[in-house]
């Protein structure tokens, strides 16, 4: 997976899924707590309504008990009147009904139904007609000696039909062995004023009948079924007229009756509020998740682009293309890694350039060696033929008794053998180079006799067979000392070679006691050595030696010349001390002067 996909997967597993899970859990928990809160409110309001209804039913029952035991009323109901006018006069003079209605606003109306035929139809007292005897409530009242409640239809002054709660109580008339029925109707307005004000919808019904009070217009079929199905009590949520609501249903049995009152308190706005809150919560959660996702997406995209840019730069560098961009956005570990990559690339470029320069130097040195080989081969001299011829001449000189000529031929053969053997070699031992110089000086001494004397001095303890040196470095210096340094010397001329080593550096000094040079001559010579013109043949030997040392050993090494007029000249050769991989036996150690003549 790409880095961006990994970051998005981390966001999905570590943030998005847990965030949604926790958010949904909090939402469900909050909804449950809110529903429980609304249930508690409905239960509290239902308890309040229940308490009001207990007070109301008890108060109405007490009023009915007072009227049913009022002797004045009983006397009017028992008396047989001679005329309707007399009866109407006595009924009008009775003030018990008006006092009751004036004292208790909960009672809407009072009605007494009597079997006394001498009593006419009045405001509160009504004779029982044949039609009335057939009504359900009258049949129940005539058959029951205990009070009971009924909800009955009631028409107001504007002919509006409503349900009114009524208490029916029997008035015993012992003197005539009869009874009358007292009906007290509860004021719906008074009941409404007592109940409403809580913000919840309240419903009241009696037994299994229809609602006699409702603060919200509904069909009325749901609540009686709800109470009967739940054992006259319920608390929770219900669907009422297709609307979800949260509420509580309870019931109680009023005093001295067998009736059951049911009270329901429901909040129809609870679920809508909870749903709105849930939608807002879900929108907020979705907004937070979306914002988090967009932030992670763009940040991971930016991060992935930078990682891809770093990877492409590294891949480009691996393929050998070191041209990477210098600009990289950000100030963090990735940008630091890119800076390190740039620094590494620059280091590689510098090292490759250094290696390339070294290769060029090696190639140039090889070219010069090849040129030297070519010059040697161009003479078309067969080495074996040359050595065999020299040996034949030497043997003839010995037979002829000319020992000096024989020695000269032997030295010449030894010298040429060293040159031919080391023409193609990059290094030779210091001992071999010093032996060759000694042979060369011996030949020169044969030529010039006392004009050329020499000494080879080696630092005490220095094993010349254990160290390496480029071949044919010293011969041009010695030759230059003889040809130019001792040019004007007639006798007692001396060449001194001094070999020493200090701090892993090998120093070889070639001194002659010739005429020396003035300061101007020395500067001209040094200029010809260090900055030799390509078209000039002057001082080319020393210049070639300087260039060979610089190419092979580096810029820190080379030759230096010091001279004083009339005293002589000293050429110092400086090279690094490099050991020979071949173990030597019986090296030149423990002495200072190697050879002297």
Find the length of the chain.
597
Helix (H, G, I), strand (E, B) or coil at 70: coil
Q: Can you give the pLDDT at residue 117? A: 87
Percentage, residues of the chain above pLDDT 70: 89
Q: How far apart are CA 439 and CA 416, in angstroms?
A: 10
From the list 566, 423, 550, 541, the residue with the least C-alpha distance to 479 is 541
Where is pLDDT greater, at 164 or 319? 164
How much is the average pLDDT of 580-594? 53
Hey, where are the domains in the chain?
39-286, 322-380, 425-596
In 187-294, the DSSP E strands lie at 201-206, 211-214, 234-240, 243-252, 261-267
Which class would CATH give 425-596?
A: alpha beta
**Can you give the pTM of this predicted structure?**
0.54
pLDDT (0 to 100) of residue 375: 60
Residue-level pLDDT at 169:
93
Confidence of residue 585 (pLDDT cuts 50, 70, 90): very low
To which residue do tokens 């510098």 refer? 350
- Rounded mean pLDDT of 57-65? 92
Give the whole-angstrom CA distance, residue 182 versus residue 147: 9
Kindly report the backbone phi and psi dihedral angles of residue 241, in degrees, each rounded to the nearest multiple of 5, phi listed first.
55, 40
Report long-range pairs for 144-150 (Cβ below 8 Å, ≥24 apart): 144/170, 145/170, 146/256, 146/257, 146/258, 147/61, 147/64, 147/256, 147/257, 148/257, 148/258, 148/259, 149/57, 149/206, 149/254, 149/257, 149/259, 149/261, 150/206
pLDDT at 382: 60
Q: How far apart are CA 506 and CA 467, in angstroms?
A: 9
Q: How confident is the model at residue 313 (pLDDT cuts 50, 70, 90)?
A: confident
pLDDT tens readout for residues 341-378: 777 878 888 888 888 888 888 888 777 777 766 565 54
Check pLDDT > 50 for residue 588. no
Token reading at 208: 């299994």
Mean of per-residue pLDDT scores for the chain: 84
CA distance 234 to 248: 5
Contact 257, 149 (CB under 8 A): yes
Q: Say if residues 484 and 495 touch (Cβ distance below 8 Å).
A: no
Best CA proximity match to 393, nearest among 381, 420, 417, 411: 411
Per DSSP, the three-state class of 95 is: coil
Cα separation, 297 vs 145, in Å, equals 84
Q: Is CATH 1.10.150.120 the right assignment for the domain spanning 39-286?
A: no
Closest CA to 185 of 63, 93, 92: 63
Give the residue carrying structure tokens 């074996």. Answer: 384
Residues 6 or more apart in contact with residue 395 via CB below 8 angstroms = 406
Using the predicted structure, report yes or no on whether residue 433 has a pLDDT greater than 50. yes
- Bridge partners, residue 180, by sequence: 114, 171
Contacts of 432 (CB under 8 A, 6+ apart): 418, 422, 471
Q: Give the pLDDT confidence of 467-494 residue by residue, as tens digits.
A: 999 888 898 899 988 888 888 888 888 9
Mean pLDDT calculated for residue range 139-161: 83
Say what the pLDDT of residue 591 is: 40
């Amino acid at each position: 997976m790409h880095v961006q996909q990994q970051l998005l997967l981390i966001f999905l597993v570590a943030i998005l899924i847990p965030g949604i899970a926790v958010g949904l859990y909090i939402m469900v928990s909050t909804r449950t707590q809110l529903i429980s809160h609304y249930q508690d409110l409905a239960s509290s309001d239902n308890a309040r309504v229940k308490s009001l209804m207990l007070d109301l039913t008890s108060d109405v029952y007490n009023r009915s008990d007072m009227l049913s035991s009022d002797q004045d009323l009983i006397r009017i109901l028992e008396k047989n009147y001679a005329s309707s006018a007399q009866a109407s006069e006595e009924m009008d003079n009775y003030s018990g009904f008006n006092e009751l209605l004036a004292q208790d606003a909960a009672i809407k109306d009072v009605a007494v139904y009597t079997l006394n035929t001498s009593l006419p139809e009045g405001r509160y007292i009504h004779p029982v007609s044949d039609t009335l005897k057939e009504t359900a409530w009258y049949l129940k009242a005539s058959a029951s000696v205990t009070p009971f409640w009924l909800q009955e239809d009631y028409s107001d002054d504007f002919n509006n039909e409503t349900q009114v709660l009524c208490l029916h109580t029997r008035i015993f008339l012992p003197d005539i062995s009869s009874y009358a029925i007292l009906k007290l109707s509860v004021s719906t307005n008074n009941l409404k004023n007592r109940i409403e004000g809580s913000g919840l919808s309240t419903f009241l019904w009696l037994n299994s009948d229809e609602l006699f009070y409702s603060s919200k217009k509904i069909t009325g079929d749901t609540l009686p079924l709800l109470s009967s199905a739940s054992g006259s009590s319920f608390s929770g949520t219900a669907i009422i007229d297709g609307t979800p609501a949260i509420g509580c249903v309870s019931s109680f049995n009023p005093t001295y009756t067998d009736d059951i009152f049911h009270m329901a308190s429901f909040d129809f706005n609870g679920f809508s509020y909870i749903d709105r809150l849930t939608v807002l919560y879900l929108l907020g959660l979705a907004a937070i998740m979306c914002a988090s996702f967009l932030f992670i997406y763009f940040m991971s995209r930016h991060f992935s682009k930078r990682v891809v840019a770093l990877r492409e730069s590294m891949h480009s560098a691996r393929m050998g293309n070191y041209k990477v961009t210098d600009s990289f956005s950000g100030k963090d570990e990735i940008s630091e890694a890119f800076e390190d990559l740039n620094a590494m690339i620059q280091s590689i470029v510098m090292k490759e350039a250094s290696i390339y320069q070294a290769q060029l130097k090696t190639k140039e040195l090889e070219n010069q060696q090849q040129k030297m080989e070519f010059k040697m081969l161009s003479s078309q001299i067969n080495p074996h033929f040359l050595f065999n011829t020299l040996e034949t001449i030497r043997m003839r000189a010995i037979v002829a008794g000319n020992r000096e000529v024989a020695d000269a031929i032997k030295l010449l053969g030894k010298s040429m053998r060293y040159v031919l053997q080391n023409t193609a070699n990059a290094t030779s031992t210091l001992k071999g180079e010093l032996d060759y110089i000694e042979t060369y000086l011996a030949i020169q001494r044969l030529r010039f006799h006392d004009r050329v004397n020499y000494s080879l001095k080696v630092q005490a303890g220095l094993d010349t067979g254990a160290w390496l040196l480029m071949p044919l470095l010293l011969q041009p210096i010695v030759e230059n000392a003889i040809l130019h340094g001792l040019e004007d010397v007639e006798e007692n001329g001396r060449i001194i070679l001094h070999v020493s080593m200090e701090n892993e550096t090998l120093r070889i000094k070639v001194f002659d006691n010739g005429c020396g040079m003035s300061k101007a001559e020395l500067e001209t010579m040094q200029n010809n050595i260090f900055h030799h013109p390509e078209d000039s043949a002057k001082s080319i030997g020393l210049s070639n030696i300087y260039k060979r040392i610089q190419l092979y050993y580096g810029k820190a090494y080379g030759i230096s010349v010091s001279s004083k007029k009339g005293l002589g000249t000293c050429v110092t050769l400086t090279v690094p001390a490099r050991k020979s991989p071949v173990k030597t036996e019986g090296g030149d150690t423990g002495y200072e002067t190697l050879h002297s003549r």
